Every structure is written in structure tokens, then in C-alpha cells.
């Protein structure tokens, strides 16, 4: 039985530095979103602790020659790490479930196996992705080679902590780098344990470090550290912009930024309406809308709007909320009371401005921070419900009469992370896909598959660069052009 007693899970305040767990004083009180009880405290690594982790990572790189060994050895070490995570999946799932919004059943069936798969996926790049011989004049040899950056500084959000950490650590290690990672201060414990398993798997101690702490102190010290050669960040657009500014104050370094979104779901009248309803409701319900790619703006052709919305609502009514440690739970809490207040504030402002809640519109009447799946109709295009990333289970409905209007409504002035498109017309699917300003377009489905080769990343304010796919591996190496003249 996957259900467990949350009191049985210990979450020690600590960092992983130089391959060793270093206990620290917990200063940020953490509350379980499922029942509002205090359960642990997160330490805040200061600049000297971050420096110790970065220095140990540099030493580990130098002493193990991790970037210079036969690449297959890196592959094998990463597979060993993935194997240990698989063996310890239940423990990791409990550590994650107790602190986060991820229900234990979903962690065991989804997050954990996917995390393991993603590490194995990147492990295989180490000895397969090479350089090129460039076409140059006959009296020369042009080579395009690549090499690791050195120490990569990574920062992750709270919404899918383990797989977000794997997205950062696995390609960086496969490419020959060390990683110092700062997980979200709200959900650090499973990530810490997962990183500790890398040492048990035989990776050089110090190569993977985890420093716990907040953004302004720990995160800021990490990205600005002079020995951090590359930054890989996933989080909000505001924090991404702050990181760019912080780095720019002391210099320039490459960075990958995976940021926020406000993704549209465009449904044409010829679509399979049942399929569209299932996909759209699934996206609103997944992690209670707390996903960067949550498709929370429905843009639907007017004649099918009522029937589609009715089918979506039927699905939204069938939620199974509960504590994340209960195996029967299939609807997540909101991460914190503060975030729930923000979701509710946006919904209330929309209602006050004349929108109608077709379902939901308030918190659920039960323990913990749960918000009712909500559908808002009659919303102004300028309403924060339509323009702002809500990070809650809230869907807005807008209708269109033709393709141009659909594209106008689908486009967001500053976000471009993902978009959904539902139509049976192949020509339209291809035409509209080209015109949608988003880093990912899902046609007649919504959400990722387990095809990790498909990169993910945003246009506009949704980010710079890609996670997953070949691009994520390549971003962890820097390319070098070599031209050799013959005598």
C-alpha cells in the first residue's frame, strides 16, 4: 500500500557538499500543503557555504578528470545512479510527497520512473554526441569540437522537484560538468537525497552538490559565483530576469532559463470534442494547474463552446482531493496559503469585473490548501485571469469566429511556452502550428509524452534555451573551432 504516515518521514536540514551531508540550522519554517501543519525547516546557505560547494565541485572535477575520462565511463556511472534511484523510489516518493503538491500515487507511477528514465536518456549522450569535420581548404583540417563548461549552477522550482532536478543534473554530468544545485526552499528534501545517491553510485564525491536556501541569498550567491561557468534555471519569469540582472552586474556567462507561461488551448469546431475536453481538463487538474505548461486559456470556436465547456466541467467535478500521502488522492493541494490567496484574488477580481464562474471560484471546504477547479467565462482579454500566470486550477474561456481571431486570442504579449491545438483538418493543423508563438505546440493532445528527445523551452519571456532533448546536452558543452594548416 503506497499510503504512509507523514509523521514517519524525517526531513533533516542539511546540504550536500564535497559528497558529504552537512547539517545546518533550519531557519525557514515549512508547512505541509495537504494539512497546513509545520513539518520541517529549511536552512539558508550563505555565500561562504555556496563557495564551499563550488570549490569542492571544482576539486572533484580536477581530481577525477570527469570531463576528460572515456565518455562511456560517465554513461555507466549515470546508469548506476539511476539504478539506485529506482531501488529507493519509495523512500524518495515519500520525501517528495510529504513536502510538496505531488500525490504519492502520481510520484510512484509518474515522477519517479520519469526521473530515472531521463537520467538514463542523458547518460547515453556522453559517448554518442560528437563534433564534426568542417569543409575547409585542402591544405587544412577544420574541426568542430566541444568541451564541458566546468561547474554548472542550477536552480529548480517546487512544482515537480525531482524531475526538474534531473533535467538539470543529468545532461550537465553526461556532458562532463559538475553541478551545484539549489532546489526550491519549499521542496528540497527529496532532491537532496537523490543527489546523495550519486555518491553511493560511485560518482566522484563533490561532483554533485546541493545547497539549500532561498533565492535572494543562496540562489543569488550561486549564480554570481565566479567559478560557476554556466547557469541553468527553472522558475518564474520575474526570478529569471533578476538572475540575468544579477549575473550582468559581475560579467557574462551562458545561461538556460526555463520560465513561466500562460498557454492557450485552441479548439476548432471540427475537433474531436471528447478528446479536447479530456486533454484540457487533464491539463487544468494536473498538479492543480501548478505546471509551467498548464493550458489554462481555452480559445474555442463559438459554435462548439457550450458543448466543450460542459464536457470539461463534468471532468473537473470528478476530482479526488486528499493529502499527498494518501494513495487514493488524485487532486493536489496548492503549494502554500500565500499562493492560494493569490489564485483566489485573481479569480475574485475577474468575478468583480463581470466574469462568471461556471464551476468552482473558491477554495475547497476541507483541511489544507485546496482550490476548486474553476472555469471563468465572460472574462475581458485584459483581465489578470487571462494575462497572468495563475498557477492554480483556473481555466478562462474565450470564443472566436475565424482562424485569425483564434490566433490573435492565442497569442500572449510576453509568454510563449506551449500551446494546444485541436482540429481534424490537417492543413489547418500545420498552418496554425506555424503561426502559434510557442516553444512547444501539441496537436490533438496536451502535455508531454515520455519522448525525452523533444526539447522543451519557451519563446519570448518564457525563456532562453531548452531543457530535455539533444539541445539540453549541447548547452552543457561549449563548442571549439580548430583549424590546422598542413605544411
Residues that bind ligand NAD (CB under 6 A): 155-159, 182, 184-185, 214-216, 219-220, 223, 234-236, 239, 242-243, 258-261, 292, 389, 417, 456, 458, 463, 467
Whether residue 408 contacts residue 401, with contact meaning beta carbons closer than 8 Å, is answered with no
Element counts in the chain: helices (H) and strands (E): 16, 22
Dist CA 12 CA 219 (whole Å): 20
| Residue placing its CB nearer to ligand NAD in the complex, 308 or 417 | 417
Left, alpha or beta for 211 (phi > 0: left; psi -120 to 50: alpha)? beta
Q: Is 25 a catalytic residue?
A: no
Q: What is the nearest approach in angstroms of ligand NAD to the Cβ of residue 19?
A: 22
| Residue placing its CB nearer to ligand NAD in the complex, 102 or 182 | 182
Catalytic residue among 258, 301, 389, 471: 258
DSSP summary character for residue 345: H
Q: What is the nearest approach in angstroms of ligand NAD to the Cβ of residue 238?
A: 7
Strands 208-210, 178-182: parallel, antiparallel or unpaired by DSSP? parallel
User: How does 174-211 read in b/e, with b if 16+ C-beta sit within 10 Å?
Assistant: bbbbbbbbbbbbbbbbbbbbbbbbbbebebbbbbbbbb
Q: What is the nearest approach in angstroms of ligand NAD to the Cβ of residue 192?
A: 13
Rg (alpha carbons) of the chain, rounded to whole number: 23
Cα-to-chain-centroid distance, residue 187:
13
Nearest C-alpha neighbor of 182 from the set 32, 319, 46? 46
Q: Phi, psi at residue 462, to the nearest 5°?
A: -85, -5
Q: What is the nearest approach in angstroms of ligand NAD to the Cβ of residue 231?
A: 9
| Residue placing its CB nearer to ligand NAD in the complex, 74 or 102 | 102
| Residue placing its CB nearer to ligand NAD in the complex, 43 or 463 | 463
Q: What is the nearest approach in angstroms of ligand NAD to the Cβ of residue 486?
A: 47
Whether residue 167 contacts residue 234, with contact meaning beta carbons closer than 8 Å, is answered with yes
Q: What is the nearest approach in angstroms of ligand NAD to the Cβ of residue 401?
A: 31
| Residue placing its CB nearer to ligand NAD in the complex, 160 or 370 | 160
Dist CA 269 CA 281 (whole Å): 18
| Residue placing its CB nearer to ligand NAD in the complex, 243 or 266 | 243
Q: Where in the sequence numbering do the catalytic residues fall?
A: 258
Amino acid at each position: 500500500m503506497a499510503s504512509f504516515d507523514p509523521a514517519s518521514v524525517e526531513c533533516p536540514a542539511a546540504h550536500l557538499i564535497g559528497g558529504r551531508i552537512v547539517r545546518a540550522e533550519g531557519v525557514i519554517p515549512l508547512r505541509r500543503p495537504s494539512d497546513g501543519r509545520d513539518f520541517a525547516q529549511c536552512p539558508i546557505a550563505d555565500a561562504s557555504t555556496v563557495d564551499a560547494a563550488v570549490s569542492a565541485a571544482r576539486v572533484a572535477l580536477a581530481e577525477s578528470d570527469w570531463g576528460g575520462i572515456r565518455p562511456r565511463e560517465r554513461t555507466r556511472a549515470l546508469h548506476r545512479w539511476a539504478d539506485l534511484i529506482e531501488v529507493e523510489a519509495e523512500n524518495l516518493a515519500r520525501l517528495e510527497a510529504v513536502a510538496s503538491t505531488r500525490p504519492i500515487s502520481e510520484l510512484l507511477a509518474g515522477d519517479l520512473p520519469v526521473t530515472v528514465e531521463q537520467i538514463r536518456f542523458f547518460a547515453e549522450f556522453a559517448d554518442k554526441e560528437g563534433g564534426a569535420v568542417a569543409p575547409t581548404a585542402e591544405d587544412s583540417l577544420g574541426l568542430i569540437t566541444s568541451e564541458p563548461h566546468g561547474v554548472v549552477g542550477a536552480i529548480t522550482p517546487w512544482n515537480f522537484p525531482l524531475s526538474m532536478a534531473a533535467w538539470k543534473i543529468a545532461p550537465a554530468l553526461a556532458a562532463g560538468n559538475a553541478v551545484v544545485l539549489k532546489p526550491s526552499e519549499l521542496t528540497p528534501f527529496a532532491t537532496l537525497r537523490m543527489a546523495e545517491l550519486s555518491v553511493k553510485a560511485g560518482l566522484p564525491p563533490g561532483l554533485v552538490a546541493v545547497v539549500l536556501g532561498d533565492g535572494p541569498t543562496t540562489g543569488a550567491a550561486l549564480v554570481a559565483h565566479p567559478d560557476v561557468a554556466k547557469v541553468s534555471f527553472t522558475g518564474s519569469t520575474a526570478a529569471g530576469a533578476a538572475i540575468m540582472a544579477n549575473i550582468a552586474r559581475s560579467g557574462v556567462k551562458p545561461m538556460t532559463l526555463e520560465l513561466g507561461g500562460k498557454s492557450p488551448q485552441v479548439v476548432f469546431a471540427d475537433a474531436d470534442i471528447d478528446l479536447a475536453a479530456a486533454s484540457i481538463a487533464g491539463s487544468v487538474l494536473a498538479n492543480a494547474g501548478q505546471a509551467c505548461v498548464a493550458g489554462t486559456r481555452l480559445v474555442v470556436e463559438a459554435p462548439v463552446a457550450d458543448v466543450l465547456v460542459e464536457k470539461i466541467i463534468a471532468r473537473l467535478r470528478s476530482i479526488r482531493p486528499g493529502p499527498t500521502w494518501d494513495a487514493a488522492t488524485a487532486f493536489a493541494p496548492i503549494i502554500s496559503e500565500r499562493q492560494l490567496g493569490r489564485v483566489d484574488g485573481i479569480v475574485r477580481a475577474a468575478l468583480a469585473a463581470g466574469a462568471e464562474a461556471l464551476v468552482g471560484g473558491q477554495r475547497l471546504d476541507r483541511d489544507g490548501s485546496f482550490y476548486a477547479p474553476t472555469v471563468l467565462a465572460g472574462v475581458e482579454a485584459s483581465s489578470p485571469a487571462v494575462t497572468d500566470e495563475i498557477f492554480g486550477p483556473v481555466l478562462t474561456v474565450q470564443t472566436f469566429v475565424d482562424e485569425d481571431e483564434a490566433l490573435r486570442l492565442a497569442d500572449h504579449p510576453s509568454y510563449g511556452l506551449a500551446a494546444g491545438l485541436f482540429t481534424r483538418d490537417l492543413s489547418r493543423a500545420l498552418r496554425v502550428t506555424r503561426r502559434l508563438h510557442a516553444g512547444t505546440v501539441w496537436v490533438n493532445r496536451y502535455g508531454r509524452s515520455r519522448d525525452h528527445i523533444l526539447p522543451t523551452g519557451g519563446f519570448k519571456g518564457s525563456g532562453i534555451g531548452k531543457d530535455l532533448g539533444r539541445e539540453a546536452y549541447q548547452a552543457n558543452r561549449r563548442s571549439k573551432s580548430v583549424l590546422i594548416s598542413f605544411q
